[in-house]
Amino acid sequence: MELIIDLGIIFVIASIFGLIIRQLGLPLIIAYIMAGVLLGDNALKIVTDRQIIENLSTLGIVLMLFIVGLELDWKKARDFARSATVIGIGQIIITGIVGYFIANYFGFSSRLALYTSLTLTFSSTVIVIKLLSDKRDLNSLYGRISLGVLLIQDIVAILALILLQTTHSEFDYAYSLALAVIKLGALCIMLYFSQKIVQKIFKSMAESSELLLISSIGWAFLIALISYQLNFGLEIGAFLAGIFLATLPYRLEITAKIKSIRDFFVTLFFVTLGLNFSLDFESFNFSHASALIVFVILGQTIITMIIMGFLGFRKRTSFQTALALSQVSEFSFIIISLGLLKGDLSQPEASLLMFVGIATIIISTILIENTDAIYYHIGKYLKIFEKKSGTLQNDSINIPSDFSNHIVIFGADHIGKRILASLFRQKQKILVVDFNPAVIKELQENEIPAVYGDMGDPEFIVALGLERCQLVISTTHDFYDNMRLVKKINFINRNCKIYVLANNPEEAIEFYRAGVERVVLPSNLTGDMISELIGKSSHYQRFNIQKHIKELKIQSKKIIAK
C-alpha cells in the first residue's frame, strides 16, 4: 500500500511541476527532477519505498533503449560507425584527462580526481535519446552520430565500472578487461545466429497484437538480464535486443504499443534522480561545482566540436552533436554510488559530484531544446571549428549554370516525397536539399538532382544558385532556419516565391510579414483533408484499410515511381 501511496504522490507532484514548467516553455524532464528533489531528503522526505521506485524506473530505461534499437536502421548506422567511434573515444580520452587535471588543480586527492574525471566524461544516453525522440531528430545526421557516440561511451563506462570493482593489480585489470570484451562478443554472436529463429517465433506471435506486445517486452528483458549477468548492465542488453528485432515487418506496431508504457517508467527515472540528491550546504563548495559544470557544458562541447571539425563535419552538425552530449551520464551516478559503497568517496564528495551531474542535466536539457535558436545567433562565430577540406565538406553542389527557373525543395522526407511526385508529373526542374545523407543517397540513386546540405548555413544557401530559381519549398518545421532562408532569398531574388511550414499561427504571421508567398500549418491541412474526406463520403462507406496499407508499404520502399 505504501508503494501505491508513494507513486500517487510522485505523479501528482510531477504533474503540478510539469504544468508550471510547460507554461515557462521548458522541457518536462526538469519538472520530474524538481519533483524528486522536493520529495527527497533535502525537502519533504515523503517517499518511503525508494528502492522499489528505483527498480521500477530501471524498466523505463530498458524499454527506451529497446525502442531505440528497434528504430535503428543498422545499414544506415554503419555509414557513421567509424566517425562515431573516433569521436567517442577521442572525447572520452581528452575530457577524462582535462577533467582529472582540473580536479587536481582544485586540490582534490588522486582518488577523488579519478572519480571526478570518470563522472564528467560520459554523457546521458537516456536524456539525449528522450530529447532527440521528442524533437524527431534521431534520424538526422547529428542524431545518428550522437547515438553512435553514446553507444561507445556506454561500453567504455561499463568497462570502467568493471575495472573499478576489481582488485588493484595489473593482472586483475587486464584479465577483467579481456573477459569483458570476450563476453560482449559472445553475446552479439549468439544474437546474430538466433535472429532467424526469433523472427519465426515472432511471426507466429504477430497473429495476436496482445501476444506480440508481451513477447516483445519479454524478449527485451530476457536479453537485458543476460547482459546484466555478463556485467554489461541492462541498458546494453535492451539496446541489442531492439537491434536484432529491427528487421521485423511489425516493428512499428511494437514501438507504438510500448511507448506509452515506457513513458510511465521513464518519468520515474527522472524523479529518482531528484530523490537521490542530497546536499550538505555547510561543506559544499559552490565555486568548485560551478567550474565543473562550466567544463561539462562548455568545455566538453568545445572538445567534441574540435574533434568533429578535424573529421570534416560542418560546424552546425558539430555544434548540434556537441551540445547534445553536454551533460553527465546515468552511469556517472552509478560510479558515484560505487565510490560511496567502496569508501573511496565521502558523502560531501559524492554530493558535490551528484550536484554537478543534476545541474548539467537540467542546463543541457534546456540547451538541447533550443539548439536551433542558439545556433541561429552564434553560428557565424563557429567557423573556426570547421575544416575546409574535410570529408563531409567535399559534398559536391553541381548546379549547371543554365539551371534556371527551377524549384528547390528543402526536405524530401514524408511531406517532401509527395511534393516531389507531384512536381515530376508536371515535368518541373527540381533540386532537392536535405540534411539526411541516407535520403540524399536514395534520391541520387533514382537520378533525382539532390545535394546534402544545411539550410541554416548562409554560405551553403548562396552556393545553391537561388537567385535563378522560381520557387522554394521548405518542408522543415524549424522556424529560425526557415526565417533565415526567407530573408536570404528576399535579398538575392525578389521574384522567387516561397512556401514554408509553420508550427503555429504566430509563426505563420511572422512568415507572411517577411514576404512568404504561402504558409502551411500541418494541423490545419490535416483537418481540411479529413473534412474533405467526410464530405466526399456521403454514405460513410467503410474505408478500404488493407488497400491503403499496401499503398503505404509501396511508398515506404520507393521514393518516386519515375
Go through the chain and tell me how many residues it has: 562
Question: Alpha helices of 329-396 — where are they, by DSSP H?
Answer: 330-342, 347-369, 371-378
d(CA 332, CA 276): 13
Grid cell digits, residue 46: 515523503
- Secondary element (H or E) of residue 195: helix 195-205
**pLDDT score at 399:** 59
pLDDT at 551: 61
Residue type, 44: L
Residue 258: what are its φ and ψ, rounded to 5°? -80, -25
Distance CA 80, CA 94 (A): 21
> Which of 88, 68, 78 lies closest to 133, judged by CA?
68
d(CA 300, CA 294) in angstroms, rounded, equals 9
Quote the pLDDT of residue 338: 78
pTM of this structure:
0.70
For the beta carbon of residue 79, count every other beta carbon within 10 angstroms: 14
Q: Which domains does the chain have, with CATH numbers?
A: 2-385 (1.20.1530.20), 407-557 (3.40.50.720)
The distance of Cα 266 from the centroid of its chain, to the nearest Å, equals 15
* Side-chain-side CA neighbours of residue 332 (13 Å): 31
Strand-pair partners of 474: 410
CB atoms closer than 10 angstroms to residue 316? 23
Q: Cell numbers 571539425 label which residue?
A: 309
Q: Which residues of the chain have pLDDT under 70?
A: 1, 71-79, 165-173, 280-282, 388-403, 413-414, 437, 454, 456-460, 462-463, 523-562
- Ranges of H-type helices in 408-521: 415-425, 437-445, 458-463, 479-492, 505-514
Q: At 220, list the grid cell.
A: 527485451
Residue 127's nearest CA partner among 334, 266, 260, 13 is 266
Q: How far apart are CA 354 and CA 420, in angstroms?
A: 51
Residues 76 and 281 sit within 8 Å (Cβ to Cβ): no
Dist. CA 90–CA 306, nearest whole Å: 10
